[in-house]
Amino acid sequence: MSEIVIGIFVGGAGKRMGGIAKGLLKAPASSETLLARLLRVCTESVPEAALYLVGQSPLYASFGLRQLADDPRDVGPIGGLRSLLLRAQADGGERALALACDLPFIDEAMLQLLSAPLKAAARVPVAEGRFQPLAATYAPSPTLAAVERALAAERRALMQVLDELGTDIERIEVDANRAQILRDWDTPDDIAR
């Protein structure tokens, strides 16, 4: 049993990247892939965590981690979050850290801050005025209830889950100097920057 479960979201189709599996892109100034770097930083920062890949793809089989299928399928990341929360409950985890696989700059300090024990239903960074729901920590039970309410209302965006959690969110304000650590790679232009 691990108090914290980390789910790295690898399930996207990468349409904006031309169908490329983003986790297999090379990390900046490194020979590692984005996923390999993220796994290393997670292991170093939160060694007690149980690690899972959220989304299923044979492209990631060589990493040797259990892959969680989105539940339900074909609803976007909310299905992955639901699957991660169910896994955390099954593992007896007190919190689930959801991370996009394409976070090339996230660092140990942010991961340690995110993985600390929760005092609210979620701990979500806010960078450049925007919530970062795929670099956030969730308490399984209240967040799963919020996911279920959002799905029942046919609202599938992760921001809908945060709306359902309302004021039960601990915001981490990330100043402009540190906002880079939460930037992800959605398009080729993001890589070029």
pLDDT tens-place string over residues 160-188: 999 999 999 999 999 988 888 898 756 54
The answer for residues whose C-beta is within 8 angstroms of residue 46's C-beta and 6 or more apart is: 4, 6, 97, 111, 112, 115
pLDDT tens-place string over residues 96-151: 999 999 999 999 999 999 999 999 999 999 998 999 999 999 999 999 999 999 99
Domain count, the chain: 1
pLDDT tens-place string over residues 3-26: 999 999 997 554 454 556 788 888
Q: What is the pLDDT of residue 1?
A: 60
Residue 35: which CATH number?
3.90.550.10
Provide DSSP, the chain: --SEEEEEE-----GGGTS--GGGSBPTTSSSBHHHHHHHHHHHH-TT-EEEEES--GGGGGG---EEPPSSTTSTHHHHHHHHHHHHHHHT-SEEEEEES--TT--HHHHHHHHSPPSSSEEEEEETTEE-TTEEEE-HHHHHHHHHHHHHTT--SHHHHHHHHTT-EEEEEE-TTTGGGG----SHHHHH-
pLDDT tens-place string over residues 51-81: 999 998 889 999 999 999 999 999 999 999 9
Q: What is the pLDDT of residue 17?
A: 42
> Which contacts qualify for 60-67: CB closer than 8 Å, 24 or more apart?
60/10, 60/21, 60/23, 60/24, 60/35, 63/35, 63/36, 63/39, 65/39, 67/10
Residue range(s) defining the domain that contains residue 18? 4-192
The per-residue pLDDT of the chain, averaged, comes to 90
